[in-house]
């Protein structure tokens, strides 16, 4: 493991807490039988997983550092989650697929390259530091892509759209960087 100094990107400050940041309201789920997860776009056949089907996917433990564009970083997070590869096994991607758009509740979106999403450090998080995700941190499922700024880690994620070309998601349309590498300080679109 890298020493602390190399784990904290430029311009970031460590926090022991777990700040909550999002646009809009926290979704409330009264009936998870209505929850589903869609794989669509450049796939041979679209797939929709039910809540039960999603929760039956094999889980793993992940440990990582997270870096928010608002300058806090939090080291040594322990997660239980589902590897992206486990979810992607359910579809056959068309060869043109190069980018993904993650779709979350209330139409919130974020974009990233397929290769970044498919790294074995990216996953769908279900528990953080031993506890089920709280509603404000993304219950029941959030994406976690720790090598990019944390806004790419969609809370309340409900689907993956596979795309040929990069397209801006919610914050990317509102001035944030298309890629968002914290070690290069790619915070805003002019960085």
Ligand X SMILES: Nc1nc2c(c(=O)[nH]1)N[C@H]1C(S)=C(S)[C@@H](COP(=O)(O)O)O[C@H]1N2
**Residue ranges binding ligand X (CB under 6 A):** 18-23, 68, 104, 108, 137, 150-151, 153-156
Query: Per the structure block, which two tokens stand in for 88?
Result: 């992607």
Query: Per the structure block, which two tokens stand in for 74?
Result: 């939090």
Torsion of CA 103, 36, 144, 71, to 10 degrees: 50
20 binds, among ligand X, Mo ion, none (CB under 5 to 8 A by kind): ligand X
Can residue 170 be called a binding residue for Mo ion (CB under 5 A)? no
How many CB atoms sit inside 10 A of residue 163's CB? 17
Contact segment (CB under 5 A) with Mo ion among 6-14, 15-23, 115-123, 153-161 equals 15-23
Please say which residue, 129 or 174, places its beta carbon nearer to Mo ion.
174
Q: How far apart are CA 176 and CA 171, in angstroms?
A: 6
Q: How far apart are CA 137 and CA 154, in angstroms?
A: 10
37 binds, among Mo ion, ligand X, none (CB under 5 to 8 A by kind): none
**Residue 36 in contact with residue 80, Cβ under 8 Å?**
no
Helix (H, G, I), strand (E, B) or coil at 129: coil
Can residue 20 be called a binding residue for Mo ion (CB under 5 A)? no
82 binds, among Mo ion, ligand X, none (CB under 5 to 8 A by kind): none
114 binds, among Mo ion, ligand X, none (CB under 5 to 8 A by kind): none
Please say which residue, 14 or 21, places its beta carbon nearer to Mo ion.
21
Chosen residue from 124, 151, 162, 176 binding Mo ion by CB under 5 A: 151
């Amino acid at each position: 493991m890298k020493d602390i100094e190399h784990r904290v990107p430029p311009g970031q400050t460590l926090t022991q807490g777990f700040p909550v940041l999002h646009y809009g309201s926290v979704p409330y789920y009264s009936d998870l039988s209505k929850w589903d997860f869609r794989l669509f776009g450049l796939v041979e056949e679209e797939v929709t997983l039910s809540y039960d089907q999603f929760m039956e996917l094999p889980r793993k433990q992940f440990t990582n550092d997270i870096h928010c564009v608002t300058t806090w970083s939090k080291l040594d997070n322990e997660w239980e989650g589902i590897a992206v590869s486990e979810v992607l096994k359910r579809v056959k991607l068309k060869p043109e697929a190069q980018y993904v758009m993650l779709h979350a509740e209330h139409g919130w979106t974020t974009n990233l390259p397929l290769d970044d999403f498919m790294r074995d450090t990216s996953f769908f998080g279900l528990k953080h530091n031993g506890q089920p995700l709280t509603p404000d941190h993304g219950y029941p499922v959030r994406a976690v892509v720790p090598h990019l700024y944390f806004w790419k880690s969609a809370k309340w994620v409900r689907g993956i759209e596979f795309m040929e070309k990069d397209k801006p998601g919610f914050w990317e349309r509102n001035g944030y960087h298309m890629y968002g590498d914290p070690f290069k300080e790619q915070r805003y679109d002019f960085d």
